[in-house]
Structure 1
Amino acid sequence: MRMRRAVSALLSVYVSVPVILYLFPWILGQLIYAHLVRFPFFVDLSQPEDLLNHTHNFYLDTEEGVSVGVWHTLPAGQWEEAAEKSAEWYQRTLGHGQPVIIYLHGNLGTRAINHRVQLVKILSAAGYHVFSLDYRGFGDSSGEPSEAGLTRDAVSLYHWVKSHSGVSLVCLWGHSLGTGSVHLLQAKLSSSRSAVDALILEAPYTRIGDVVVNHPLSKVRPSLLWNALERNNIVFANDENLKTLSSPLLILHAEDDYMVPHHMGLKVQPPQSALPTPFSWWMSLPRCRSTISFSLCSFMKSHSRPRENDTPAFRWR
């Protein structure tokens, strides 16, 4: 009898979850962004030196009433120079020729989560400036998250970096949810006949709805969840935005990724036959970030673009 009741209760939950999310679509938005889970706790985001060396925190106004928190981490080779330097000094270093990566993280938590900090350390050690952004509503950033809002934050940071970085190569790195913002940003730039120097997508998906309905609790009436997403204007259509791609692309996807299945990453890879030259790389990782340094460095070396007087955007060492 107890077993029957337990099974009945589980079935009730299994069936009711999609219905609840359909009736109250705002709940689904909260679950997708998970921005209210401000993990790690008890971290002062305005003091990045507690977690990262040679890193400066600043706030960028992306629209009226919205200010987002950003960390700027220097290439590791500049750590001695960076001691007690001003915000203006950090800005000036962008014009020294080293490549820049703008990192757009996934859902849940802040730019201080350990795996994000560890990635920044790897990129910094490889000689890159790294900008880590907390979208609106995340961390110490004001506002509420939305698809349009996250994209606006990314666009604003991209233009800010470009205005200070001279001819340095600027690459967008999106992870999971952040791959949607990367695609939307590059689509906006493509429409204005501009292009990002390079894109890196880590664990990309086709559409955010495909990730949602892949969850075990979404197997009953997935159409209800698609409807709730559309009512919330949460689409992140990577498969559609891919059609405007005009930049070199590297895709990284772990084979053991259960949140965003490996096969979704395969679907967002552009067909090579449609490209004038091969510039799309696919790296399948046995485990998350197991060979990330090699993948990144090989890709950036291959697609560094010649600048004025045939001077490369950065020197390979």
Structure 2
Amino acid sequence: LVLQDMRFPFFVDLSRPEDVLNHTCNFYLNTEEGISVGVWHTLPASQWEKSARRSPEWYRETLGDGTPVIIYLHGNIGTRWDKSSFGDSTGDPSEAGLTNDALYLYHWVKKHSKGSLVCLWGHSLGSGSVSHVTSSAVDALILEAPYTSIGEVVVNHRFTKMYRFLPGFESLLWNIMKMTNIVFANDKNLKSLISPLLILHSEDDNVVPYHMGLEVQKLNTDAHVEMISYSASLGFSHSSIYLDPNLSGVVR
């Protein structure tokens, strides 16, 4: 469910993003006492030529240059920015902890953005953390492959298909998730949404069924909600919407 020990990309020193990415700076934030989370700050194309051999302080100043800032919250596998227990961040995974990390980073970026638009982008598991901030006024939200609740994803996942016939299997799953404090009920949390929301979902998603994205879109909220669907013929599935050549235009 939460594969925080799968530290992709493999065999990479996460404190040195320059080994795998250009125009990127690593830093750490203490989101609460004893919890340190790692963040990669990747610059927009407009800043690339100026970024050579620049300090972390210079990177921080670019947050306020008027360019929109996107905070990307990855799914159950991946790195940077790293919620508690992911990558080289400390702490243990919990719904409250992951949400607190997201809120802390958002407010930290807003503090340094000098009025620049700040967008929270949650992919898959990351959409659960984003959905928790909906009762607060944030600039904009993007949910990529969002689910109704994490339990519905697990129950419908291909890996659990062989066990569904067992009596009480579904109840057991729900109880385990409640015991581990990881539920992420997007279908409930998003009902208090007050910020504009863009949903991205591919019809051939083999992890989070496409119909869940549709259900999220139809939730009764007072906010502006828009959904972009991708045809199964494109083969984007769960993790390849970034291959859409028009994605930057869609987000704008």
TM over 0.5: yes
1:213 aligned partner, one-letter code: V
Among candidates 86, 96, 101, match of residue 70 of structure 2:
101
Deviation, structure 1 residue 257: 0.9
- Any conservation in 1 of the 2:128–2:184 contact (CA below 8 Å)? yes
- Which residue does 2:249 correspond to in 1? 297
Structure with bigger helix share is: 1
Picking from 205, 210, 224, the partner of 1:262 is: 210
| 1: CA distance, partners of 2:93 / 2:245 | 31
Does the 8 A contact of 1:283 with 1:295 survive in 2? no
Distance 1:76 1:107 in 2: 28
Is the Cα contact below 8 Å between 1:285 and 1:291 reproduced in 2? Answer: no
RMSD, matched Cα:
1.7
Residues 1:109 and 1:95: Cα distance change in structure 2 (over 3 Å) = closer
TM-score (norm 2): 0.89
1:200 maps onto 2:152 in alignment: no
Separation in structure 1 between the aligned mates of residue 142 and residue 5 of structure 2, nearest angstrom: 27
Match of 1:213 in 2: 155
1:233 Cα deviation after fit: 1.6
1:25-64 to 2 correspondences below 5 Å: 32-64=1-33
In structure 2, the residue matched to 1:280 is 225
Stretches of structure 2 that go unaligned for 5 or more consecutive residues are none
Q: Matches of residues 300-311 of structure 1 in structure 2 within 5 Å?
A: 300=252
Aligned-residue offset at 1:46 = 0.8
- CA shift in 2, pair 1:154/1:290, >3 Å: closer
Identity percentage over the alignment? 62
Is contact 1:212–1:218 with CA below 8 Å preserved after alignment? no
Q: Which has the higher contact order (CA 8 A, sep 6+)?
A: 1
For 2:243 and 2:52, the matched residues in 1 are separated by 31
**What is the 5 A alignment of 1:238-249?**
238-249=186-197
Aligned length: 239
How far residue 211 of structure 1 moved from its aligned partner, in angstroms, is: 0.6
Cα distance between partner residues in 2 of 1:36 and 1:67: 16
Shift of the alpha carbon at 1:40?
2.6
Task: Tell me, in whole angstroms, the C-alpha distance in 2 between the residues paired with 1:90 and 1:108.
Answer: 26
Partners of 1:294 and 1:97 in 2: how far apart?
22
Q: Counterparts of 1:64 and 1:106 in 2: how far apart (Å)?
A: 25
Deviations along 1:121-161, one digit per CA (max 9) or x if unpaired, are: xxxxxxxxxxxx11111111111111111011111110110
3-state SS, counterpart of residue 92 of structure 1: helix
